[in-house]
Structure 1
Amino acid sequence: MPTNNSGDSYLEYTECLDVISSILSMYSVSHRIVIVGDCNGTLKPPRKYNKHDFLLQAFVHEMNLQSHRSEESNFFHHSGMSTSQIDYILHNATIAFLSDYKIHDQCHSNTSSHVPVSAKMNVKSKPTNKAIKSGYISKFKIQWKDIESELYHNHISNELSQHNIESHSIEESINFLCNCLKKAATVAVPSKIIKLKGPQFKASPSTLMLLKISKEKYQLWKSNGKKNDHLKTDKILAQRNLRKKLRKEQYLDRTQFYNELMDNPSNDMFHKLIRRNRGSKNKDAICIMENGEHHYSATDQTNSFSRYFEDLAVPKDNGYDSEFLDLCNIRHNIFDELCKKAATNHNLVFKISVMQSNSYILARQQMN
């Protein structure tokens, strides 16, 4: 939801509430609706300086929305001077729909000014078997060079001694041997993770060091009772330094990618750009500047990219000499004018050239 510090926040906040109101009016009869997020307004006693509080409370009352009442804060300003409760889970159910509502404590790894708010929904649904996406499975690489040979052979020998191959079919024996080799490799061969489950952000050694410092400062502040003293100030400063470093690295990563895209454009780079923009709406370009002209609408931006691709498809050689090119153009124009003026003498010149060539050929033949 819009913040109280934006330009015309009252109008923007009202527009957001109108959109949510239309959704509730359309689906509240047939669906249970849950509204989750940062409302930038509180359901506690309204603050005189914040007009969003009155709008939010009137909206919740008008739409008969339910919420868990608590006095705990879930927003902590980075300066440490103020706290509030602005993150909510609202729903339109008349029965006990949510349970285990919880506002979590501050955590050293959470660099946000908000803390998580969670709840369990009591919903009955039919289980469906869905295939797990291969992109979200941890992958390992077996380090065969570091194998413990004796342990590996002993494990296989023990397994084979307990299995009578003659009493089983060929397929069963093959499956048993495959499983035996896998178990032996798991026991005797180390492995390393080459891909973790889920997306992971890039972190440089300096960022990891700041993250470690932030964790240590938080644990120290927590072990001393989370008092409002110099330990809290140190924790806030460590988290602030970590956020600055993360934002700087993200900016440098984006800058490097865009520079590489402009210097060495390729199909792979453009597909990567498309995938980056599809990943999050926050990464979409708000404005594109083309030859000093700014394009804000999606149609103009599409046309701009179309012209760029068209220009990119035309072969160019930027290593030529401009003066030499001008001289070639002048020579071409002179030859063109001479050819136009001497158009009537083309046949005569051609006959003379052919006669001279024939005479030269006959002379060479006589000499031979």
Structure 2
Amino acid sequence: MPSLQVAGDLDYKDTLDQISEIIEKYKDSYQTIICGDMNASLHRDNRRRDQNFKEFMSNNNLSLANRYPKAPTFFHHNGKYTSQIDYIMFPETTTGIQNSNIVIEDRHPTNTSDHTLVTANIPMKIDKTSTQLVKIYTRPNWAKCDTNIYTSTLKQELECESRRKESSVEERIKLLEKSIHKAGKKSIPKYRQLKSLKTVGKGIWNRKISEASRDSKNAHTLWKRKINSHQNADTEKINLTSKKRKLRQLQRQAYASKKEKFINDIMQASQKDSKTFHKLVKQQRSKHDTNTDILYIGNKAFEGEKILSAWQTHFETLGTPNFDENIFDLERLELAKLQNKIIPELDIQNKEITKATPTEIESAIRKLNTGKASDENGIVSEHYIHAIDVITDEITDIINQIFEEELDVPQSLKKWNFDTCLEKEKR
């Protein structure tokens, strides 16, 4: 806690507020214990800082353990002043900690600090948990898709009586997704199977490195066996050297890939990506040898601690739009603004919206990029492309139904892999 006291003691109050936010954020998922040098006392002359500390404990329902000892924990270097300012606190609702054994240790001859040691023996129960495997759905192998079965099954599903026009947009979208997956299961072998991902190590360790490491160990075993039996091991030695060289090569490649990915993440980070920013700051402050010694932002060089301000400048630049026509796509910005205004304008003017046509929808489907990740419901662009003649009319009807229902776009449609955008020719 801040030790310097100035008018208003704002730094101290600000730190207490930050701790209060942490307690509030994690109170439902964790049992919070607050401990350390609070630079305030519960057993002193009730000065302003002590009052703020007591108010902080009261507002957050913090308390001390039963039979909490009362003894000095701070000893001024002049030897005249002592006080109890180090505490271990916990919320009153925390179970099992009220009877914790708190001990304020005597000062030890080798303790050069002006604080003494405060220990707590806290009873707790730790539940043993096993590592949960990450499970994913495998991507459909469209090269093995039987297009005839896929289109015929999907057509049959769409012609079912349950696809009545009286259904809501939300219901029709869910039924369409269900029909797509049903057709996929019938036409594609091993369609979207649930697969468990297994980790093979931490850091840069991957499957290739794991295999190369195993080969290197086996080669070393063969070489060692020949040496111990006093046989000629030249061939085994050459093989061992080759395996080690391969292992080092894969390790260097993995380090390079990891570094390149981190740099790309930094350069592509958005203004709201605080995780990447703090990760960068933490790495820069560490003593690791891979830290950047000098960083250039434009033609200006930054070294040492100034590198942090350089990254700050970089992220501020990313978050500040530059409307220079040579840098920023002003035409795209104008189209975006126009698209954001067109819906409320149509609503106010009560204009009739031109219905979408199957030709427009078919054109949009054909422009979809293949090989991309699926949406939240497991639908990829190939689902539409492989059944474009069957699915176009259904999607057209759904979009026109949205137009008729005052542009009430359901959340499920917003998760699709494609949506309608304003084009330059339709300004």
**TM-score, normalisation: structure 2:** 0.31
Higher helix share: 1
Q: Which one has the largest radius of gyration? A: 1
